[in-house]
Chains A and B, each alone.
Chain A
Amino acid sequence: MLRRYFPRISAAAQREERIFYLFILPWLIGLVVFSIGPVFGMLGLSFTDWRISLDDLQFVGFENYAKLFDDPIFWVSVGNTLYIVVGRVVFGVSFALLLAILLNQKVAGIAFFRAVYYLPTVTAGVAVALVWIWIFNPRLGILNYTLKQIGIQGPPWIFSKTWVKPSLILMSMFSVGPIMIILLAGLQGVPKELYESAEIDGAGHWDKFANVTLPMLSPVLFFVIIISVVSSFQNFTEIRVMTEGGPGESSNVLIWYLWENAFIFLQLGIAAAVAWIMFVILMLLTGAQFWVGRRWVYYEAEA
């Protein structure tokens, strides 16, 4: 049995193998100590009444999970997280696709625009989150002022329960840089002949987009959607700097709920359970996409 996975190999090959494992050793240690270890440690700790000290842990079975499922705020934060995930996937990815299509046009100065569109992504952090508080200011902010100029009474953005989540989604649309670039590279990989033959068949812009671009781009689109789902779970900075989960609980997302439980309420057992649930939700979402992806993603090799 073991022989099948580890067939006999020559001395030279054995030496190469030793070097291989030596070279990946740092990563391997890191994987065990900082990723895999913590994942299972977290699972174990989620079944304890852990608060501050690890010394007198009591095994409490599923009590933490039961408490979570009874906590209405937990469900609010699950709902908020999914709201933001869907918003970022739908609006963020379509917007990134629009930007990528624009950047794929052969016009002068395109490299400049590419840099400009990418800029907010690299600077996304505390400094820019602070600027956005100011931009979103309902009375004095530039956003509502601009809207007023074109005759629209702007909403109170992050200061209102209904608008806080759309505001965060809008803000995240400014940092779609990586997925924009990936989509752009995907667009540039579509063979020109396909467009040419579509044109011979009399296809217009829309036909070409729907029947050539989208199918050819679907594997890339699929990858990009997975990335944007994962990154939607990592929006801690904005929440911490701009809303702290508020107003009320309207921007309380799972990562914030986890943070509050772990480091403010010091209920680490519960926080471990939240982390584990987050982990499972992410795996389910990614798994679901692979399952759905089989139906809509077009791989050239199969054709």
Chain B
Amino acid sequence: MAARKRRDQVNWRKSIEGRRAIGIIVTFALLIPLGIAFILPFIVMVSTALKPLNQVFAFPPRLIPETVQWENFADGWYGYGYVNFTTCTWNSLKITVNNIIGNMVSCTLAAYAFARLKARGKNFFFAVVLATMLLPNEALVVPQYVLFNRFGWLDTHLPLMVPPWFGWPFFIFLLRQFFLTIPEELIDAAKIDGAGHARILLQIFIPLSKPALATLAIFAFIGNWNNFFGPLLYLRTPDVQTLPVCLVQYQGAYGNTEWHLMMAVATIAVIPVLLVFVFGQRYFVEGIATSGVKG
């Protein structure tokens, strides 16, 4: 009897439904704890932002604050003399919006050329796009710094706001991949109607490429909003700083003591990125998948 029950169990484990059920259990047993781990940094950030200072250093650490202190957000925002979060946020926003537009314009033009125009030397230049996709900008900062110094651009937003108007290899590649999927017949039909390339681009490609352009805009938003290296390098005076630099100055000013205020401003800094990510998630995932596989 016992032996038969055992055999049934073994059979069940080997049966298709059994395997499927075990698969689902194992999957969730991994998915859920990992999901919690991935969210934990945010919970720590927000919960610290809501605590009074004496509870921040309490042991054992509590994820849910005993008393909620909303003033931390306002105090953090106005907290320190020369660090002005309103100015920093405004600067970040201005640079980010400019860079999104610049990238879109310059990359759309280049991507259209690489996807749809015939020219001698095209393959060579496309190989250059691919090669420079992997070049980390950090390695070029020293000579770029010299260049922008020569232009008299230090301590202005120009070193951050001008280069995006000159293309970005990753975005050119991404858009080109998308443009290649637009049916040739549409272009032929437009050509018969006498449309030039500018019109084909504006009236056919751009409307059809909204998902790809949305992907690009989201990438550009997040990259520029989080950019720390560039502003740290080129900006000096408090009036021109961006948000990430403000956060670091705050850290320096308080010498790692006012954690609740620091986490409050960090939370504020992260919220725009979170919103963009949540609403643009689908485009985002598709865009990355395109860059990796269909190449």
Q: B251: which of A130, A135, A189 is its contact (CB, 8 Å)?
A: A130
Cα-based distance from A177 to B222 in the complex (angstroms): 14
Interface string of B216-227 (1 = CB under 8 A from A): 000000100110
Q: A102: which of B34, B139, B150, B273 is its contact (CB, 8 Å)?
A: B34
Q: B266: which of A42, A131, A186, A268 is its contact (CB, 8 Å)?
A: A131
Residues B140 and A124 in contact, CB atoms below 8 Å apart: no
Smallest distance from the beta carbon of A130 to chain B beta carbons, Å? 5
Residues B61 and A130 in contact, CB atoms below 8 Å apart: no
Residues B59 and A262 in contact, CB atoms below 8 Å apart: no
B3 at the A interface (CB under 8 A): no
> Which chain A residues border B57 with CB–CB below 8 Å?
140
Q: B292: which of A123, A186, A230, A237 is its contact (CB, 8 Å)?
A: A186
Stretch of B67-75, B78-86, B107-115 contacting A (4+ beta carbons < 8 Å)? B107-115
A89 at the B interface (CB under 8 A): no
Q: B166: which of A27, A105, A262, A279 is its contact (CB, 8 Å)?
A: A27
Residues A107 and B132 in contact, CB atoms below 8 Å apart: no
> Which chain A residues border B288 with CB–CB below 8 Å?
177-178, 181-182, 185
> Which chain B residues border A60 with CB–CB below 8 Å?
none
A24-B114 contact given A130-B262, A241-B251, CB 8 Å threshold: yes
> Which chain B residues border A82 with CB–CB below 8 Å?
none
Within 8 A of A (CB), among B269-295: 269-270, 273-274, 276-278, 281, 284-285, 288-289, 291-293, 295
Cα-based distance from A268 to B35 in the complex (angstroms): 45
Stretch of B5-13, B24-32, B206-214 contacting A (4+ beta carbons < 8 Å)? B24-32
Residues B45 and A128 in contact, CB atoms below 8 Å apart: yes
Residues B293 and A189 in contact, CB atoms below 8 Å apart: yes
A291 at the B interface (CB under 8 A): no
Residues A24 and B232 in contact, CB atoms below 8 Å apart: no
Cα-based distance from A145 to B115 in the complex (angstroms): 54
Within 8 A of B (CB), among A18-53: 19-21, 23-24, 26-31, 33-35, 37-39, 41-42, 45
A147 at the B interface (CB under 8 A): no
A164 at the B interface (CB under 8 A): no
A131-B61 contact given A23-B117, A124-B226, CB 8 Å threshold: no
Smallest distance from the beta carbon of B242 to chain A beta carbons, Å? 10
- Interface size of B by CB at 8 A reads 94
Q: A134: which of B105, B128, B259 is its contact (CB, 8 Å)?
A: B259
A184 at the B interface (CB under 8 A): yes
Smallest distance from the beta carbon of A283 to chain B beta carbons, Å? 9
- Interface size of A by CB at 8 A reads 94
Residues A185 and B292 in contact, CB atoms below 8 Å apart: yes
Within 8 A of A (CB), among B33-54: 34-35, 37-42, 44-45, 48
With both beta carbons as reference points, the residue of chain B lying nearest to A263 in the complex is identified as B233
Smallest distance from the beta carbon of B19 to chain A beta carbons, Å? 9
Stretch of A65-73, A112-120, A150-158, A294-302 contacting B (4+ beta carbons < 8 Å)? A112-120
Smallest distance from the beta carbon of B53 to chain A beta carbons, Å? 13
A237-B228 contact given A130-B266, A186-B292, A255-B138, CB 8 Å threshold: yes
Residues B113 and A184 in contact, CB atoms below 8 Å apart: no
Is the contact region of chain A dominated by helix, strand, or loop, or is it mixed? Answer: helix
> Which chain B residues border A113 with CB–CB below 8 Å?
31, 35
Residues B145 and A262 in contact, CB atoms below 8 Å apart: yes
> Which chain A residues border B30 with CB–CB below 8 Å?
98, 102
Interface string of A125-140 (1 = CB under 8 A from B): 1111011111100011
Cα-based distance from A37 to B113 in the complex (angstroms): 24
Residues A31 and B139 in contact, CB atoms below 8 Å apart: no
Q: B132: which of A20, A35, A139 is its contact (CB, 8 Å)?
A: A35
Cα-based distance from A119 to B259 in the complex (angstroms): 23
Stretch of B93-101, B119-127, B182-190 contacting A (4+ beta carbons < 8 Å)? B119-127
Cα-based distance from A102 to B38 in the complex (angstroms): 15
B106 at the A interface (CB under 8 A): yes
Interface string of A173-188 (1 = CB under 8 A from B): 0100110011111100
> Which chain B residues border A161 with CB–CB below 8 Å?
none
Q: B263: which of A131, A178, A286 is its contact (CB, 8 Å)?
A: A131
Cα-based distance from A275 to B109 in the complex (angstroms): 32
Residues B118 and A17 in contact, CB atoms below 8 Å apart: yes
Interface centre among B143, B248, B256, B291 (most CB of A within 10 A): B143
Q: Identify 26 residue pairs between A and B in the complex whose beta-carbon atoms are under 8 Å apart, listed by A's number.
A: A7-B120, A23-B117, A26-B166, A29-B166, A33-B147, A42-B140, A102-B31, A107-B27, A107-B31, A117-B34, A119-B39, A122-B222, A122-B273, A127-B269, A127-B270, A130-B266, A132-B41, A134-B48, A181-B292, A182-B291, A185-B293, A241-B248, A255-B138, A268-B146, A275-B142, A286-B134
Listed from nearest, the 10 A-B pairs whose CB atoms lie closest are A30-B166, A182-B292, A27-B167, A38-B143, A185-B289, A125-B226, A127-B266, A20-B119, A23-B113, A126-B244
Tell me the B residues contacting A by CB distance below 8 Å: 23-24, 27-28, 30-31, 34-35, 37-42, 44-45, 48, 57, 59-61, 63, 105-107, 109-110, 112-114, 117-120, 122, 125, 128-129, 132, 134-136, 138-147, 150, 163, 165-167, 172, 197, 222, 225-226, 228-229, 232-233, 244-245, 247-248, 251, 256, 259, 262-263, 265-267, 269-270, 273-274, 276-278, 281, 284-285, 288-289, 291-293, 295
Known: A131-B263, A181-B285, A275-B139. 6 other contacts (CB 8 A): A19-B117, A24-B110, A178-B292, A181-B288, A182-B291, A258-B141
